[in-house]
Amino acid sequence: MATLTYAYADRAVVVGPLATYAEPHTYDLCLEHAERMTAPRGWDVVRVGGEFPEPQLAGDDLLALADAVREAARPRQPRPGERSDPRGQAAAEAQAGVVESGRRGHLRILRDT
């Protein structure tokens, strides 16, 4: 994996090793796209670091990921004062002036009243 950064002042696209933190105007790329990246006409592609190894996850990272997946799959407990029935959200939306006007699978179409 690699990180792509646009250097607008230099009219350059910089492709380098995977960044350790997110910054504006940076994009993470898979190996295939990092190697095939081209720049707009008149711009240069600067490749830093040559090869882009796949990041290795530590055991702690894998455990944290597994815990996050388990937590997301766990049924959500209602907060104090919140209705626990599935229509509770619809009642709150109706009070806010929002009405469900259609449904497609798990997606809902809402309109203001």
Residues 19-29 pLDDT 10s: 888 887 789 98
The C-alpha atoms of residue 28 and residue 4 are separated, in whole angstroms, by 6
- Whether residue 55 lies inside any domain: the answer is no
Single-letter code of the amino acid located at 109: I
In a domain, 71, yes or no: no
The confidence score (pLDDT) of residue 92 equals 60
Residue 76 has which token pair? 């959500």
Q: Which residue range(s) make up the domain with 18? A: 2-47
pLDDT at position 89: 60
77 within domain boundaries: no
Residue 34 pLDDT greater than 90, yes or no: no
Counted domains in the chain: 2
Tell me the per-residue pLDDT of 51-106, one tens digit each, with 9 for 90 and over.
666 666 666 777 888 888 888 777 766 666 655 555 556 556 555 666 666 666 66
